[in-house]
Structures are given as structure tokens and as C-alpha cells.
Amino acid sequence: MPPTPRVVLDRARLQANVDRMAATAAERGQALRPHAKTHKCPQVAALQLAAGAVGLTVATLGEAEAFAEAGCGDLLIAYPVWWTSDQAWRAAELATRVRLAVGVDSVEGVQHLAELWQVPRGRTREPAAGPVALPELVVEVDSGHHRSGCAPQEARAVARAGIETGFVVRGLFTFPGHSYTPAGRREVVRQEADAVAEAARGLRAAGVPTPHVSGGSTPSVALEEAGFDELRPGVYVFGDAQQWELGTCAPQDIALTVHSTVVSHAGGRLVLDAGSKALGADRAGWATGFGRLLDHPGARIEVLSEHHAVAVLPDGEPLPPRGSVVRVVPNHVCNAVNLAEELLVADDGVVTERWPVAARGRNS
């Protein structure tokens, strides 16, 4: 057993989370394409694919390469890519081996890809180093999160640019990130559905007869019943303190925790050896702390620095002794996993396997 802080994954809870989401999607006849940026781990992806996922979502080309290497044959880079020539040719090589789609959110973004790949001038490569193929394009639509994505009424022009320059335009995707909020989730999903409906009309007008529609996030997925062919939740597979606070997972569903040693009782508080270099520093405005303790639901991490988490327990609750190990639930599990080299897989609390975080740090 490596020393703390260490990332431990409860295999039974993980499998239950995988199965529950797969069943939801199957019942509703939706494809499930889980976002692999949460786990970055081939073994977790294999469980998702075995349970019926049609493929994986990734955020970067590097993640796509890592999961293709691990055997996944259908990948969506759900990001409005603006690549270098070298990245474009890496993607074109990858597209000969897997079914690949990439996001675009502007006419200029489409034109840039067309120039990089010399579409439609014969798809030749200069310098050529082997066979290449073109990914399909998927138009990113902003459904109210206001991060990236074109406005719904602009989707037609973006799709049109794709078709005119010789790409296959598969459809559209959106990320309802504003569903990460304690209230108003139903309204967010309504906005998302309206946005994709309008954008889908635009794509049909542009010449995509049956645009594929991909949406979803862990907090919103329970409500995305109509209008979506595909769902892309990520965090559901592990759960985290944000989802716990949003009520979209229960503490008994949280599969990943960071085991941390109590190193001090300074000031009558619990000082742990897991800081922002193990947990990540995420703290949404509505979050009640920098993370929580699975076995002390009333505790909150009130101070977080690189190698210290200072947790405050409710009045009267005794501090776990110095030297004991507690299970910390990070606020945002995607960033915590990206800080770890490996996940320790536990059966009934006993570590039986180690899974590498193979796509850790693959930001480009």
C-alpha cells in the first residue's frame, strides 16, 4: 500500500455507477458516450464500454490517442479544436484507426481545419507519412453555459461551412455546464433542449438531414429524456463532493476517495496530508468547503493549501486521532484524478489492483 495521499477506488460502487447510468440510457433508447476526462483510465473505460457505451467522449487529442491505444474504437473530441498542423495530422492518422469526430464552433474554425487538412483538395498530406482520414465534424452549440459553442442560430452557418469544404457533419453537441447549480436544473435542461432543437433545425436547413444530437452532464442527465440521441456524462462514474452537495449522487455512491493521514491537531482542527496537489483547488461559489470527508458528513475542509487540508468537524464530534487515515471526497474528481499516477482498486476495502491514469496530463 503506497503512503498517503493515495487515490482509492471502490470497485463495487464503481460498477454500480457504471451499470446505473447504462440502464438509464438503455431504457430511454439513448446512446451513452461517457466523458473519459473524468477517469483517464483504460480499465474504467472498458467497464463503461462493456456495459453498452457506444464510445467515449474526450477533451483533447492526447486523450483520444490514449484511449485509442487502449482499444476504444469510437471517440468524440467534444471541444472546439483550433489545432496546429502537427495536431491536425496526428488526428488524421488517428482517424484511420478509429471512428473520430471533432468539435467546431465557428465558420473560421471549420475553415482553419480545412486549410490544415487541405480539404477539399484531395486530402493529400504534405509531408505525407502514411495513410490519413478525415474526422467528422460536430457543431458545438452554447445552450446557456456561455463557455464555448456557437449560438443556436449560428449552427446552420457553421454546418454549411463544413459541408461546403467537404467534411461530413455528423450533428451537434452541447454541454449544459450551468446545470452544476443547486437550483433550477429543470430550467437548464429546458434551455438545453430548446437550444439543440433550434440548432438541429439549422443543421437540417444546411443539408444535414438527420443531425445527431449529443448533450448531457452528470447533474442534468436524469432530465434529458427527449431530443437527445446521445448523453455524455462524466463524473457519475466516481461521484464527488460537488455532486454530493448538488444531490445528484449519494455519499454511499461515491466510488473514489483520497485517503489521507491526520498529521496534526493544531488549533483543535484536523490537519490532513492531502492538499490541492492531491485534491485540486476547485471550489464553486455554492460549495460549502474545499472537499468533504466520507465518514464525517458534517465535516468541511475550510483551508486548503498544497499539502494541507484543514477540516472542521461539528461541535462535539471527536477528532480522528493523529496518524489515522480518513477518506477525503474531492470537490471535483476530474481534477483530483489528473493529479494521480494510479488508482488503487479496492474490493471490500482491500486494495487488489492498481490502474494507471494513462491519459493523465494529456492536455494537447
Q: Which of 109, 162, 216, 291 binds a second copy (CB under 8 A)?
A: 109
Q: Between 292 and 332, name the residue whose CB sits nearer to a second copy.
A: 332
* Set of cell numbers at residue 100: 473520430
> At which residue does the C-alpha cell 438527420 appear?
210
Q: Which of 37, 160, 212, 292 binds a second copy (CB under 8 A)?
A: 37
Segment lying near a second copy (by CB under 8 A), choices 108-116, 163-171, 190-198, 243-251? 108-116
Question: What are the C-alpha distances in Å from 355 to residues 43, 148, 206?
Answer: 7, 33, 45
Q: Are 281 and 304 in contact (CB under 8 A)?
A: yes
DSSP label of 150: B
Beta strand residue intervals within the chain, DSSP E = 6-10, 31-32, 56-58, 74-80, 99-104, 136-140, 169-173, 212-215, 230-231, 256-264, 270-272, 291-293, 300-304, 309-312, 325-330, 342-347, 350-356
For position 233 contacting a second copy by CB under 8 A, the verdict is no
For position 220 contacting a second copy by CB under 8 A, the verdict is no
For position 344 contacting a second copy by CB under 8 A, the verdict is no
For position 181 contacting a second copy by CB under 8 A, the verdict is no
Size of the site for a second copy (CB under 8 A): 62
Q: Between 142 and 230, name the residue whose CB sits nearer to a second copy.
A: 142
Q: Which of 41, 47, 273, 333 binds a second copy (CB under 8 A)?
A: 273
Number of Cβ within a 10 Å radius of residue 72: 22
* Set of cell numbers at residue 316: 462535539
DSSP label of 287: -
CA-derived radius of gyration, the chain = 22
Q: Which of 51, 102, 278, 326 binds a second copy (CB under 8 A)?
A: 278
Q: Between 44 and 278, name the residue whose CB sits nearer to a second copy.
A: 278
For position 282 contacting a second copy by CB under 8 A, the verdict is yes
> At which residue does the C-alpha cell 473514489 appear?
256
For position 86 contacting a second copy by CB under 8 A, the verdict is yes
Which residues of the shown chain bind a second copy in the complex (CB under 8 A)?
2-6, 37, 59-60, 79-84, 86-87, 105-106, 108-109, 112, 142, 146-150, 177, 261-267, 271, 273, 276-278, 280-283, 303, 305-308, 310, 322-323, 332, 334-335, 338-341, 361, 363-364
